[in-house]
Amino acid sequence: MNRPNIEGSTILIVDDTWPTLDLILTHLTHCGFKVLTAQDGMRAISQAEHAQPDLILMDVMMPGVDGFETCRNLKESELTRDIPVIFMTSLSDIEHVIMGFEVGAVDYITKPVDYREVEVRIKAHLILRQWQ
């Protein structure tokens, strides 16, 4: 079986902290991904509907609509429900991890992150999505 080609996949990063956003954007761009950004939940929903990214990497704690509610909204929309969401957050207690999966995330990474871990998890979920 041939491995799916994920090079050039589009990743939407949603985070309101510019240094985190910039570091991840730089790393993922270097890995060959097309990267889009949003700094709040409402912009994330709009970007996802318009651009149809292959995966969304999202913080939970953001001003206005938080990541959990944003994910819930994405999963309720026919346009975005099939886009995998990976949470990347400092909320590491089990209740938040469970909530992340309950609202529709496919994975949950706690900050501080190792960018190599983020990369391999993204690649794994992109491959899984293509095999579906």
Q: Identify the structural domains of the chain with CATH numbers, from first to last.
A: 10-131 (3.40.50.2300)
Q: Which candidate, 13, 124, 24, 113, places its Cα nearest to that of 59? A: 13
pLDDT at 1 over 60: no
Q: What is the pLDDT of residue 38?
A: 95
pLDDT digits (tens, 9 = 90+) for 6-29: 889 999 999 998 887 888 999 999
Q: Please tell me the distance from the alpha carbon of residue 91 to that of residue 53, in angstroms, as a whole number.
A: 25
Mean pLDDT value of segment 86-93: 95
Helices 18-30 and 115-131 meet at what angle, rounded to 10? 60
Q: What is the pLDDT of residue 3?
A: 67
Q: Residue 38: how many CB atoms within 10 A of its CB?
A: 23
State the chain's mean pLDDT as an integer: 93
| DSSP secondary structure letter of residue 15 | -
